[in-house]
């Protein structure tokens, strides 16, 4: 068995972290792997550091015809190859590899977003390509959206994303955020770890922060992440005079250490495939305030392992944040249940389920 993973991402976000977990799990299982990814991307650098075989390419557009042809050539050499596409552009590449260059290898497409499939000839052809044998959806919410576009909905299965519990074990709180932004021990730090993207709903994050901070001096809000919306977020902070209440760190690689300094994890997404940063918060012992968007309720049970609101309901989110800050028994209850839940979401479970799919596919060739 050999798995060729195809990724077109040029940044490191939740999906790339999940690929890293899968690569590690498959290596532990003795599976031969090859990664195809853009040159100088964070995933290529990860493969270099961890000594995973890879082929990089210069990304000029989403088609990558030279790379798709090379992929077809690789697959002709071995009948036990499965091609696993990890994002939408990768899906396009592997589809064209079969359509234009007679690549007969079975294809798996990972679906990590809950956006509807476009109702176009191109999209419907791509999603119903005969050689796609499985769609791996990271939540039931994603599967329900995806199957509306599939002629064979049975191809879509759910394997939830995961975390690596060991990454968050024995992490000391060195108060990195408080030290960096000159905050004291009495400040309650409410933070998020996410790309600065539209579906993460940073307007709601900022409006909620404004509501909380108008009434309470003790709260400070931390935005950990980078993305195209940074100028808009910075402008809002400036226009609303929140510069001493809301702080931005940019991209950081030491997430386990930073999470330890938060008192509340706040993710107000309006769309969310699953929301694996919630799992990282669970593993770090940080109570969660989030929304009923997408797959989040599959991770967080309202009033049991976290507090959820309707997307965009700033007032309710502000109330949840204040309630958590003042209610120690509630925090203890949520964290106890969250810890039980996250122990079932370690990457070994995700690896085993994915490996079972690989084996099933090859057994039918």
Structure letter (DSSP) for residue 117 = P
For the chain, the distance separating the N- and C-terminal CA atoms, rounded to the nearest angstrom, is 12
User: Are residues 257 and 311 located together in one domain of the fold?
Assistant: yes
User: Are residues 244 and 158 located together in one domain of the fold?
Assistant: no
User: Are residues 215 and 182 located together in one domain of the fold?
Assistant: yes
pLDDT in tens, 4-53: 999 999 999 889 999 999 999 999 999 999 999 999 999 999 999 999 99
User: Are residues 41 and 115 located together in one domain of the fold?
Assistant: yes
pLDDT in tens, 189-239: 999 999 999 999 999 999 999 999 988 899 999 999 999 999 999 999 999
Residue 290 near residue 308 (C-beta atoms within 8 A)? yes
Q: Which domain holds residue 322?
A: 165-344
**Distance set, CA 54 to CA 4, 95, 201 (Å):** 9, 20, 35
User: Are residues 338 and 353 located together in one domain of the fold?
Assistant: no
Alpha-carbon distance of 143 to 255, in angstroms, equals: 29
Q: What is the pLDDT of residue 156?
A: 97
Q: What is the pLDDT of residue 63?
A: 58
Backbone Cα Rg of the chain: 21
Q: What is the pLDDT of residue 114?
A: 86
Q: Both tokens of residue 340? A: 């039980």
Neighbours of 342 (CB within 10 A): 23
CATH number of the domain enclosing 29? 3.40.50.2000
User: Are residues 259 and 305 located together in one domain of the fold?
Assistant: yes
Sequential DSSP letters for 198-222: GGG-HHHHHHHHHHHHHH-SSEEEE
Residue 246 near residue 221 (C-beta atoms within 8 A)? yes
Q: What is the pLDDT of residue 78?
A: 85
Taking only the tens of pLDDT, the chain with its 365 residues reads 999 999 999 999 889 999 999 999 999 999 999 999 999 999 999 999 999 999 999 876 555 778 899 999 999 988 899 999 999 999 999 999 999 999 999 999 999 988 899 889 889 999 999 999 999 999 999 999 999 999 999 999 999 999 999 999 999 999 999 999 999 999 999 999 999 999 999 999 999 999 999 888 999 999 999 999 999 999 999 999 999 999 999 999 899 999 999 999 999 999 898 888 999 999 999 999 999 999 999 999 999 999 999 999 999 999 999 999 999 999 999 999 999 999 888 899 999 999 999 999 998 87
Q: What is the pLDDT of residue 59?
A: 73
Dihedral sign from CA coordinates of 6, 135, 110, 356? negative
Q: What is the pLDDT of residue 62?
A: 52
User: Are residues 51 and 197 located together in one domain of the fold?
Assistant: no
Neighbours of 333 (CB within 10 A): 15
Total domains, the chain: 2
User: Are residues 136 and 157 located together in one domain of the fold?
Assistant: yes
User: Are residues 259 and 137 located together in one domain of the fold?
Assistant: no
Buried (b) or exposed (e) across 167-181, using 16+ Cβ within 10 A? Answer: ebeebeeeeebbeee
Q: Specify the length of the chain in residues.
A: 365
User: Are residues 335 and 354 located together in one domain of the fold?
Assistant: no
Alpha-carbon distance of 270 to 202, in angstroms, equals: 10
Q: What is the pLDDT of residue 58?
A: 86
Residue 168 near residue 277 (C-beta atoms within 8 A)? no
User: Are residues 149 and 257 located together in one domain of the fold?
Assistant: no
User: Are residues 190 and 90 located together in one domain of the fold?
Assistant: no
| Residues whose CB falls within 8 Å of the CB of residue 332, separated by 6 or more in sequence, listed in order | none
Alpha-carbon distance of 9 to 227, in angstroms, equals: 13
Q: What is the pLDDT of residue 115?
A: 87
Looking from the CA of 159 toward its CB, the CA atoms found within 13 Å total: 24
């Amino acid at each position: 068995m050999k798995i060729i993973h195809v990724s077109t991402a040029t940044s490191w976000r939740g999906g790339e972290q999940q690929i890293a977990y899968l690569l590690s799990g498959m290596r532990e299982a003795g599976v031969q792997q090859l990664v195809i990814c853009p040159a100088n991307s964070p995933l290529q650098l990860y493969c270099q550091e961890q000594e995973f075989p890879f082929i990089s390419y210069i990304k000029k557009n989403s088609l990558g015809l030279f790379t798709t042809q090379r992929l077809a050539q690789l697959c002709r050499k071995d009948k036990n190859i499965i091609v696993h596409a990890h994002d939408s552009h990768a899906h396009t590449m592997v589809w064209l590899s079969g359509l234009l260059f007679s690549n007969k290898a079975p294809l798996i497409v990972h679906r990590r977003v809950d956006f509807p499939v476009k109702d176009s000839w191109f999209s419907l052809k791509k999603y119903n390509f005969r050689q796609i044998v499985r769609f791996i959806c990271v939540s039931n919410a994603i599967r329900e959206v995806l199957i509306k576009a599939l002629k064979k909905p049975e191809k879509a299965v759910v394997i939830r994303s995961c975390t690596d519990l060991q990454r968050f074990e024995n992490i000391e709180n060195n108060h990195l955020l408080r030290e960096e932004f000159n905050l004291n021990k009495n400040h309650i730090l409410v933070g998020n770890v996410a790309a600065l993207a539209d579906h993460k709903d940073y307007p709601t994050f900022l409006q909620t922060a404004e509501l909380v901070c108008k009434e309470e001096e003790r709260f400070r809000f931390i935005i950990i992440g980078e993305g195209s919306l940074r100028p808009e977020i910075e402008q809002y902070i400036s226009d609303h005079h929140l510069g001493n209440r809301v702080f931005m760190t940019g991209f950081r690689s030491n997430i386990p250490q930073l999470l330890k300094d938060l008192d509340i994890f706040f993710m107000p997404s309006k769309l969310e495939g699953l929301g694996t940063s919630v799992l990282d918060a669970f593993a770090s012992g940080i109570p969660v305030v989030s929304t009923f968007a997408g797959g989040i309720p599959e991770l967080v049970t309202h009033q049991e392992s976290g507090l959820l609101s309707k997307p965009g309901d700033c007032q309710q989110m502000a109330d949840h944040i204040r309630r958590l800050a003042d209610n120690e028994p509630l925090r203890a209850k949520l964290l106890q249940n969250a810890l039980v839940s996250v122990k079932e979401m370690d990457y070994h479970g995700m690896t085993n389920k994915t490996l079972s799919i690989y084996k099933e596919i090859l057994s039918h060739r």
